[in-house]
Every structure is written in C-alpha cells, then in structure tokens.
Amino acid sequence: MDLSFSGTNKIMENTQNRALELASNALSWTDEAIQKFTSLESLPEPLDCKPGCHYCCYNLPMVTPPEALLIGYHVEQNFTNQEQKEISDRVNKIFERINGISPYEIPMMRHELPCIFLEDGMCMVYSVRPAVCRTCTSTSAEHCKMIFETRNHRARLRCYQKIREIFHTVHSRLVNHCRKMGCQADPLPLAETTRDYFKHPEPIDAWLQGDIVFRIPM
C-alpha cells in the first residue's frame, strides 16, 4: 500500500488554501486506502457501518489542526448563524459535563457525550469528517450497539487492525508535516478546536504563520 498522500507535494502557496488542501489531501488518501483494503476479496467479513449507525459518534474525537481548520471553515461557510449558535451551545454543554473529570474517566462516560456535530443520528460535517471518524469502522453494528447500551466502553470493537493502521499513518504524517511547516501540530479535542476556531478573527492565516490558534488543554 502506497502511504504517501496523493497531491501533498502540490500544496499551494502560503494562503488559506494551503491549510485546507493539506487536510483534504490527507482525508482523500484515507478514503482511498480504506476502499482499497475493503475491496480485497479475502476479507472474512464486510464492514457493517451504515447511515444512521452512530454509536461511535458518542465520543470526544481528537483532530489535527489542519482537520480542525477544514471543519471550522466548512461550518463557517455552510451553517446558518442559528446552526452555528447551536453548535456553540453544544460545545459549552460538553465542557460543563466534563469539568473537573479526569481525562482517564471521560472515555468511560462517552454515552453522555454525543459529538457536537451529531444531529438525528447523522453527521452534520460528514464530507469533512476527520480521519479518526473515517477509520472508526466495525464488522458488527450489533456489537457496537451492545457496547453502547451496556456502557461496556472497555470492550474492543470488531474492526480490522489494518484500518486502524491507516488512521495512525495519516495522523502521524499530518502531525509531522505541520511541524515541518512550523505550525501548531498536536491533536486536540474536536469540541475545543471548534470553539477556538470561531474565537479567532483569522484562524487559518494565523495558523499558517505559526501562531497558536487552538488552546492546549492543561
């Protein structure tokens, strides 16, 4: 499997498009790698993920800064003011719920933490969803449902290790590429990056200039 990002070497000059294209290229590569793997006839079981199956959407996903910028830009361009306010309210509710809770405890209460972009069982930013969501797959939706309903969040999903490897590859390469650019690189929770995107007057330009756009949790 070719692990180079398609189009990465064609990233444009120091403009907003540079950051957005970096994320888009990485996500396209992720989709292509998953499709190539799942098209193999030797797979014992097909993926069982379908629209409306949202058990993995109760979580606080970690995203790289380029992914956060792409999602923020998408929301800014496509969501109404009212929809943006509703997202902001959801972010605030998340922070209120996890305030004072250890990072080690949070995964055990994920059934109380729907993604801020989950609406009626569907993803509001599906076209720009991050690599962590694209690679969170399962060969048994019933097993995912059982884990969620019994709150046995330590149970292992029935998934292919190769797809998890795709995630780790794209994630690490994005982080390393950001560092080479001299830009903020470490992954952060999606809820926090969405909040910070809309608090900054020029988040994309500032990130490209090497500024810290997204707060680092203490």
CA 53 to chain CA centroid, nearest Å: 17
* pLDDT the model gives residue 10: 42
Spatial contact of 125 and 67, defined as CB atoms under 8 Å apart:
no
Query: What is the predicted pLDDT for the residue at 196?
Result: 97
The pLDDT of residue 124: 98
pLDDT of 217 reads 62
Interior angle at CA 86, CA 80 and CA 89, nearest 5: 145
Tens of pLDDT along the chain (218 residues) come to 333 444 444 444 457 788 899 999 999 999 999 999 999 878 889 899 988 899 999 999 999 999 999 999 999 999 999 999 999 999 999 999 999 998 888 888 999 999 999 999 999 999 999 999 999 999 999 999 999 899 888 888 889 999 999 999 999 999 999 999 999 999 999 999 999 999 999 999 999 999 999 987 65
Q: In 92-214, where do the E strands start and end? A: 118-119, 122-123, 188-189
Q: Taking the complete model, does pTM exceed 0.75, yes or no?
A: yes
Residue boundaries of the structural domains of the chain: 46-208
SS3 annotation, 47-93: CCCCCCCCHHHECCCEECHHHHHHHHHHHHHHCCHHHHHHHHHHHHH
3-state secondary structure of 119: strand
Total Cβ atoms within 10 A of residue 84: 15
- For residues 53 and 157, is the Cβ–Cβ distance under 8 A? no
Q: Please give the pLDDT value at position 152.
A: 84
